[in-house]
Homo-oligomer: A and B are copies of this chain.
Amino acid sequence: MAAASLLRSLTRHARGASAYHHHHQTWAPFSTAAAAGARDEARKGFPGLGPTVKGEKARVVVLGTGWAGSRLLKDLDTSGYDVVCVAPRNHMVFTPLLASTCVGTLEFRSVAEPVARIQPAVSKSPGSFFLLARCTGVNPDAHTIDCETVTDGEKDTLGPTKFKVAYDKLVFACGAEALTFGIRGVTEHAIFLREVHHAQEIRRRLLLNLMLSDVPGLSEEEKRRILHCVVVGGGPTGVEFSGELSDFIMRDVKQRYSHVKDYIHVTLIEANEILSSFDVRLRQYATNQLIKSGVRLVQGIVKDVQPNKLILDNGEEVPYGLLVWSTGVGPSPFVKSLPFPKSPCGRIGVDEWLRVPSVRDVYAIGDCSGFLESTGKDVLPALAQVAERQGKYLASLLNRAMKAGGGHANSQAEADPGPPFVYKHLGSMATVGRYKALVDLRQSKVG
């Protein structure tokens, strides 16, 4: 115990010995003999978390910390389940507010919630964990997954470490990836807007470019270039970010960076129409608001992205200093690699109870999952409200199974799964600059 060892040091020193104790007395845990023993022991057993046994809590393994995974984690009944969350990110991102953090309207910490706060068991309960790792494969027959730790390029910590985790129930909630449509240079030069580190990168780049624009001797052309913010994609994220940017320019830049106020501009490029999922009158309102706040709207298709300019399909060159890419999402390579039947659009195929039907005890929720064609239902849109309600639904399904004695793998006692998941669209919302937003309450969407 830390408290005990602390107490030991305290009493040792209180006895009047030298204030410095010599380290060779206290380094025992690091001694190489003891270490080698511990290592061997770890190797001998299951290299990871072994299967649970009857009488122990069953283990739900959740892959992902987005809207779906976080809601599931929050609602799982930890009196009967151990939860193990495996994800490359230790927090949930409140994505609708991410755009606001890029220009300082909100702090980054305001839009990120640590997993350990969403489900405290992962850092307190002896059998529950959050593991900063990527799932690299699944073995549905053995009820195990393969994982590898993620260190985001930090050296000197722990090298990439592989391990296995046995599951009683496995839930894919690993989301989707930004679409680039195979356009060259997007991944290298554009910034997406899906994670907190993306928003931090945008903010850093924006401020850096504002400062660099003061470099003496810079040509007018170059000054305009580095202060040109281009957003590709006119969906809610692209529109909201453009609105935030032009607000920032009109309110903050004019006051605080008055040297550059004539040079900074925002352009929003969209191949079709902005906010195409919204009602036509709302679209028109949004368009007017954006233009009013100084955003240039350009209808065009991006063909190629180069370090300081992008090329449109009509050959036109658009120089930029900051390029944000937001053209929707699609299945990740990991989802594509999974040995399960897929829904239309290539997501993990699920039945109406969100189960992966070909195997036992495997579920998929959120953007990574879609109804199989055989269900006769359309694939739901990649929206927070879909993912969040699937997480809630699945938690109650799993909690019910556990209470009926069907929490463990391959359980015979699996109860009636209850009613299938039904999605009811509650409407869409998008902000367009300061204190202005669109709300579309039509109950369309597939469902």
CB contact list, A295-330 vs B, under 8 A: 296-300, 307-308, 312, 316-319, 321, 323
- A39 near B221 with CB under 8 A, answer yes
Chain B residues contacting A261 (CB-CB under 8 Å) are: 1-2
Binds B, one of A127-135, A345-353, A393-401, A429-437: A127-135
CB contact list, A134-190 vs B, under 8 A: 149, 151-152, 154-158, 161, 163, 165, 189
**A214-B131, A258-B124, A259-B129 as given contacts; A208 in contact with B154, CB under 8 Å:** yes
- Taken together as a complex, chains A and B put the C-alpha atoms of A51 and B264 apart, in Å, by 28
- Asked if A410 CB lies within 8 Å of chain B CBs, one says no
Chain B residues contacting A317 (CB-CB under 8 Å) are: 30
Binds B, one of A5-13, A375-383, A417-425: A5-13
- Taken together as a complex, chains A and B put the C-alpha atoms of A169 and B241 apart, in Å, by 43
CB contact list, A64-114 vs B, under 8 A: 90, 107
A383 nearest CB across to chain B (Å): 26
**A20-B298, A300-B23 as given contacts; A214 in contact with B287, CB under 8 Å:** no
- Taken together as a complex, chains A and B put the C-alpha atoms of A41 and B220 apart, in Å, by 10
Chain B residues contacting A204 (CB-CB under 8 Å) are: 154
Interface residues on chain A, size class: 35 or more
- A212 near B2 with CB under 8 A, answer no
A147 nearest CB across to chain B (Å): 9
- Taken together as a complex, chains A and B put the C-alpha atoms of A344 and B323 apart, in Å, by 50
- Asked if A26 CB lies within 8 Å of chain B CBs, one says yes
- A292 near B47 with CB under 8 A, answer no
A110 nearest CB across to chain B (Å): 12
- Asked if A358 CB lies within 8 Å of chain B CBs, one says no
- Taken together as a complex, chains A and B put the C-alpha atoms of A35 and B293 apart, in Å, by 27
- Asked if A218 CB lies within 8 Å of chain B CBs, one says yes
A42 nearest CB across to chain B (Å): 5
- Taken together as a complex, chains A and B put the C-alpha atoms of A163 and B216 apart, in Å, by 7
CB contact list, A208-257 vs B, under 8 A: 208-209, 211-212, 214-222, 224-226, 249-250, 253-254, 256-257
- Taken together as a complex, chains A and B put the C-alpha atoms of A127 and B410 apart, in Å, by 75
| A104 nearest CB neighbor, chain B only | B109
A97 nearest CB across to chain B (Å): 18
- Taken together as a complex, chains A and B put the C-alpha atoms of A101 and B151 apart, in Å, by 22
Partner of A23, one of B116, B132, B316: B316
Q: Apart from A123-B257, A132-B211, A161-B217, what are 5 other A-B pairs with CB-CB below 8 Å?
A: A6-B292, A19-B287, A20-B299, A35-B221, A41-B219
**Which chain A residues have a beta carbon within 8 Å of chain B's beta carbons?**
1-2, 5-6, 9-10, 13, 19-24, 26-27, 29-30, 34-35, 38-39, 41-43, 46-49, 90, 107, 116, 123-124, 126, 129-133, 149, 151-152, 154-158, 161, 163, 165, 189, 204-205, 207-209, 211-212, 214-222, 224-226, 249-250, 253-254, 256-259, 261-262, 264-265, 267, 284, 287-288, 291-294, 296-300, 307-308, 312, 316-319, 321, 323
